Chains A and B, each alone.
Chain A
Amino acid sequence: MKKKISELIASKYFSFFVTVILFAILYGVGIGMYKGFMKPQVFLNLFIDNAALIIVTIGITFTLLIGGIDLSVGAVLALTCMVLAWLLANTGISVFAAIALVLLMGTAFGAIQGYLIAKFDLQPFIITLAGMLFCRGMTAVISRETINITNPTFVAMADFRLSVGAGFVSMGVIIAIIALIVAAVVLGFTRFGRNIYALGGSESSASLMGLPVFKTKVSVYTISGFCSALGGIAYALMMLTGYNLHGMGMEMDAIASSVIGGTLLTGGVGFIPGALFGVLIQGVILTFISFQGTLSAWWTKIVVGALLCVFIIMQAFITEHKSKLTAKSSLEENS
């Protein structure tokens, strides 16, 4: 039994388990305190409100897994909303062409960042910071004012509701769910996915093992760029505007979600369901605050900050004791 526990603690999914349990407890307490929490729609709203963040978090998780980072996600999301809004307002192109165009733009932007990082062995932190400033700047250059999206097709898409059980979800949620499934399958069941973990575990080993390090690196940042743009579309569906300050600080929320869900910033450990629950837990705290009624929404940040702190310390503790924990359990196996 003791062995089981130490093995569980040493497991790479430990943070994930803690997050899921915490989520369940918070939700349970919510149900106990406020009747409203019982409604299925409250649960579904967690997804509706956070669809964009979920998608962006998926992308950033890819970069964190190889031990990198992508700070440009929030800015790319804002640029996507802005370009989309501008295209729909000022040109006659169809909604689908506009969407395809902005997706292509985000993907290409990610690919360029990835190429620079991989080719010249540059710090992803610096390159994507530059990318972030560039995209924010470009967004402001297109328009300092909010551009409203009034295109009837796009508005219809935004108003679309798919009923599930006693509630409904939006288009953004459908996109997010599809993205989650695709990402989980790619990471879990493809060679490309495994190469990402290998790269995060040890870049030099990955290279000596004959894995395509360069290609994998570029692809990962490309995926992050694509996810940011896709998140941008989900965001635009919710807000129906393009605005320079959209997605401000979203990169930090995404990193926090991913880490709370069990991703190690050093790379090589983490998985998609964890990233999802990382987002959801922030959503639950926000729901709590809105039910409570008097607290400021900034309390979410405070709680998430505290949570992050606890998780990082926990991870450090686990890493330090992992060798001990596992040594013990394997010894017990032998004797």
Chain B
Amino acid sequence: MAAALLEMRHIDKVFPGVKALSNVDFTLHAGEIHSLMGENGAGKSTLVKVLTGVYPKDGGTIHLNGKEIYPKTPKEAQEEGISTVYQEVNLCPNLTVAENIFIGREPRRFGFIDWKEVNRRSIELLKKLDVDIDVSKTLDNYPVAIQQMVAIARAVDVDAKILILDEPTSSLNEVETERLFRIVRQLQKQGMGIIFISHFLEQIYELCDHITILRNGELVGSYEVAKLPRLELIAKMVGKNLNDVKDMDKMAEKSVPSDEVFIETNHAASTGQIKDVSLQIHKGEVIGLAGLLGSGRTETAEMMFGLKEVTGGSLKINGKEEKLSNPMAAMKEKIAFCPEDRKLSGIIGDLTVRENIILALQAMDGMFTHIPYSKQVELADKFIDKLRIKVSDRDQLIKNLSGGNQQKVIIARWLATQPRFLILDEPTRGIDVGTKTEIQKMAVELAKNEGMSVAFISSEMDEMVRTCSKLVVMRDRKKVAELTGDQISSEGVMEAIAGGEK
């Protein structure tokens, strides 16, 4: 085998209270797409950050092309030829798209930035990713998915030896992911070494050649993808044997809804967002909103939470017509909404995990009622345990958690409110495989045991098929089909999306 491009040996990294990495080895070859896998908080992002000089390492060596390197800042890592898209959005919202792509290496003429060239080349670059937007607008005009594409465009343009992508696909849809993969494969052919992190197993198996698994900051092993079946991979990640993993994956029986309807819409429309949606959500029902991106499924959810105005048709709660003009009104009706872009909204970094969990509950109870400390602790501990949130203690600052664990906290926040209707928009994105099942189970249990109505939105079809008692399929901002019982299957949904009304 050819000499390694990158060799990391005996890497240690300690944070106050956590040993994030201990004695980790990692080897990357040129022309290889190598996945780093592990549960939330296993240390993947930390390894990336040690490699790129964001955190100083506490031990170990890094060799690039046989030469030892000591990057102390991301800038130095870049100069060594390591280009990175970090897990958190690492762009400047106040700069234009073009500036974000080229900042730090703007093309110049006579010492001054050549803005025409910057804009022209940005457009060209984004075109390769099939993104067609106005690059002279500031970044905060665009949704997270576009921002992610911009970050990727920035990283792939530099002439690097190593490209690191830390969960680049957690806010992309299938089409966008496919485009990204095309580019990544191209770069692989050019001999670049690529590190790819994701919790989507299908993506790993589709794209990668090699997998290195971390667990609790320790190296489990490094394997060829072709020789590592899925279940074995999961078993190694969670540290259990194969049979336990199979059990873990088993879903409980689906919830059987009661006859009582909690919320219903009748030909509801919202100008420019939703054209025509009629649906009934019963108590104790887990309903899935399916459809491609832009089909209006998120908008429908937002309408039921008062974020989108109902401009046509009607919306009834418990049989009474209601005008949900803002989220506060929806929260009064005990409706909770866990939004899709948890990356941007929701995390209050300087509060503790406990405080972040009780935040929504507090808001619902009113600012002035105090939730007893013992109750707060009880709630926090319950969710930390159930969702397997990896924290050193419940009063750790949330900003020091790993990306996935931060997301778990936000989900816990909404689960804690004990709503009558819970909307979960893409709740399992960026969450590790084990906890994904846990969240699905929780949705079903809440409906079963507490008679809660749950709306579940996900781009992963099999997840919805496993969880939901009813599937509403959307297309072009309209409801096109409703599937129940045996009709619920991936094929059924695909047919409905493709075929239109039945």
Cβ contact within 8 Å between B86 and A208 = yes
Whole-angstrom CA separation of A195 from B273 in the bound complex: 38
Give the docked Cα–Cα distance between A185 and B154 (Å).
25
Cβ contacts B101-144/A at 8 Å (1 or 0 each): 00110101001110100000000000000000000001011100
- A191 and B90 within 8 A (CB): no
| Min CB–CB distance A211 → chain B (angstroms) | 5
Let me know if A207 and B73 touch, CB within 8 A: yes
Given contacts A191-B106, A207-B74, A208-B54, contact A197 B94 (CB under 8 A): yes
Given A208-B90, A268-B94, A331-B272: A194 in contact with B74 (beta carbons within 8 A)? no
- Residues in A neighbouring B75, C-beta threshold 8 A: 210-212
Chain B window 158-185, contacts with chain A (Cβ cutoff 8 Å), 1 for yes, 0 for no: 0000000000000000000000000000
A215-257, CB under 8 A of B: which get 1 and which 0? 0000000000000000000000000000000000000000000
Judge whether B91 is part of the interface by a CB distance below 8 angstroms.
yes
Q: Are B103 and A194 in contact (CB-based, < 8 A)? A: yes
Report the minimal beta-carbon distance from A32 to chain B, rounded to whole angstroms. Answer: 39
- Tell me whether A335 and B272 are in contact (CB under 8 A): yes
Task: Give Cα distance in the complex from A209 to B154, angstroms.
Answer: 9
How many angstroms between the C-alpha atoms of A330 and B247 in the bound complex?
47
With A331-B272, A332-B272 as contacts: A197 and B86 at CB distance below 8 Å: no
Instruction: Tell me, in angstroms, the Cα distance from A237 to B111 when the chains sit together.
Output: 34
| Interface status of A273 (Cβ within 8 A of chain B) | no
Would A202 and B92 be within 8 Å (CB), given that A210-B73, A210-B74 are in contact?
Answer: yes
- The yes or no answer to A148 lying at the interface (CB within 8 A) is no
The reply to whether A205 and B272 form a contact with Cβ atoms under 8 Å apart is no
Interface: A161 (CB within 8 A): no
In the complex the two chains form, is B141's CB within 8 Å of A211's CB? no
* CB-nearest residue of chain B to A330: B141
A269 and B142 CA atoms in complex are apart in Å by 18
Contact (Cβ within 8 A) B104 A195: yes
Chain A min CB distance to B273 (Å): 8
Chain B residue at minimum C-beta to C-beta distance from A193: B113
Q: A189, B112: Cβ atoms under 8 Å?
A: yes
Q: Does A90 contact B (CB under 8 A)?
A: no
Residue of A190, A201, A206, A212 with highest tally of chain B CB at under 10 A: A201
Give the distance in Å from the alpha carbon of A212 to the alpha carbon of B104 in the complex: 9
Q: Which of A313-327 contact B (CB under 8 A)?
A: 322-323, 326
Q: How far is the CB of B340 from chain A (nearest CB, A)?
A: 14
Residues from 23 to 42 in B contacting A, C-beta threshold 8 Å: none
Q: In the assembly, what is the distance between CA of A4 and CA of B75, in Å?
A: 40
B317 close to chain A: CB less than 8 A: no
Closest A-chain residue to B78, C-beta based? A210
- What is the CA–CA distance of A208 and B140 in the complex, to the nearest angstrom? 18
Expressed in whole angstroms, the Cα–Cα distance for A332 and B115 within the complex equals: 28
Q: Judge if B93 is at the interface, Cβ distance under 8 Å.
A: yes
Q: Which one, B74, B99, B111, contacts A190 given CB within 8 A?
A: B111
Residue B377, interface by CB 8 Å: no
**Cβ of A209 and Cβ of B90 under 8 Å apart?**
yes
Flag whether B220 is at the interface (Cβ < 8 A).
no
A68 within 8 Å of B (CB atoms): no
Asked whether, in the complex, the Cβ of A190 is within 8 Å of the Cβ of B94, the reply is no
**B379 contacts chain A at the CB level, 8 A cutoff:** no
Neighbouring B residues of A189 by C-beta, 8 Å: 112-113, 115
What is the interface size of chain B, counting residues whose CB is below 8 A from a CB of the partner? Answer: 32
The chain B residue with its CB closest to the CB of A326 is: B141
Cα–Cα distance between A335 and B476 once the two chains are bound (Å): 11
CB distance B112 to A185 under 8 Å?
A: yes
- A274 CB to closest chain B CB, in angstroms? 15
A195–B92 Cα distance when bound, in Å, is 10
* Docked-complex contact B77 and A197, CB < 8 angstroms: no
**Chain A residues with Cβ under 8 A from B104's Cβ?**
191, 195, 209-211
Contact of A12 among B74, B90, B94, B115 (CB under 8 A): B94
Chain B, Cβ-Cβ closest to A332: B272
For the complex formed, measure the closest distance between the CB of A148 and the CB atoms of chain B, giving whole angstroms. Answer: 43
Cβ contacts under 8 Å, B112 to chain A: 185, 189-190
- Give A10's nearest chain B residue, CB to CB: B141
A204 at the interface (CB under 8 A from B): yes
B363 at the interface (CB under 8 A from A): no
The answer to whether the Cβ of B89 comes within 8 Å of any Cβ in the partner chain is yes
A204 to B89, CA, bound (A): 10
- In the complex, residue of chain B having the shortest beta-carbon distance to the beta carbon of A186: B112
- Residues of chain A within 8 A of B154, CB atoms compared: 209
Instruction: Check if A194 sits within 8 Å of B113, measured CB to CB.
Output: yes
CA distance A209 to B106 in the complex (A): 13
Render A178-204 as a binary contact track against B, CB cut-off 8 A, 1 for contact. 000000010001110011011011101
Question: Counting chain B CB atoms within 10 Å of each CB, which of A202, A209, A335 scores highest?
Answer: A209
Closest Cβ–Cβ distance, residue B149 to chain A (whole Å):
15
- In the assembled complex, the Cα of A38 lies from the Cα of B253 at a distance in Å of 85
- Cα(A62)–Cα(B161), bound, Å: 36
Residues of A near B54 (CB, < 8 A) are 207-208
**Does A202 lie within 8 Å of B93, measured CB to CB?**
yes
Q: Assess the B93–A201 pair: CB atoms within 8 A.
A: yes
How many angstroms between the C-alpha atoms of A226 and B97 in the bound complex?
33
Task: State in angstroms the CA–CA spacing of A68 and B93 once bound together.
Answer: 18
- Assembled-state Cα–Cα distance A211/B73 (Å): 9
A190 to B103, CA, bound (A): 10
Residue of A nearest to B99 (CB): A194
Q: Are A198 and B86 in contact (CB under 8 A)?
A: no
Interface positions, chain A 147-201, Cβ under 8 Å from B, are 185, 189-191, 194-195, 197-198, 200-201
Whether, in the assembled complex, B95 has its beta carbon less than 8 Å from a beta carbon of chain A, the answer is yes
Q: Which of A195, A207, A268, A331 contacts B103 (CB 8 A)?
A: A195
* Bound Cα distance A98, B112 (Å): 33
The complex places the Cα of A185 from the Cα of B110 at a distance, in Å, of 13
Q: Is the CB of A12 within 8 A of B113?
A: no
- If A191-B113, A210-B75 touch, does A198 touch B272 (CB 8 Å cutoff)? no
A16 to chain B, nearest CB (A): 15
Max count, chain A CB within 10 A of own CB: residue among B86, B90, B115: B90
A123, chain B: closest CB distance, angstroms: 16
Nearest B-chain residue to A269, judged by Cβ: B94
Could you tell me if A194 and B106 are in contact, using CB atoms closer than 8 angstroms? yes
Chain B residue numbers with a CB within 8 Å of A12 are 94, 138
A210 CA to B151 CA, complexed, in Å: 13
**Nearest 10 A-B pairs (CB), nearest first?**
A201-B92, A268-B94, A201-B94, A208-B90, A210-B75, A210-B78, A189-B112, A210-B74, A205-B90, A198-B92
Binding site for A on B (CB under 8 A): 54, 73-75, 77-79, 84, 86, 89-95, 99, 103-104, 106, 108, 111-113, 115, 138, 140-142, 154, 272-273
21 pairs of residues in contact across A and B, judged by CB atoms under 8 Å:
A12-B94, A185-B112, A189-B113, A190-B111, A190-B112, A191-B104, A191-B113, A194-B95, A194-B99, A201-B92, A204-B90, A205-B89, A207-B74, A208-B54, A208-B74, A209-B103, A210-B79, A268-B92, A323-B140, A330-B141, A335-B272
Q: A194-B95, A198-B95, A198-B103 are in contact. List 4 more A-B contacts (CB 8 A).
A: A201-B94, A205-B92, A207-B54, A210-B74
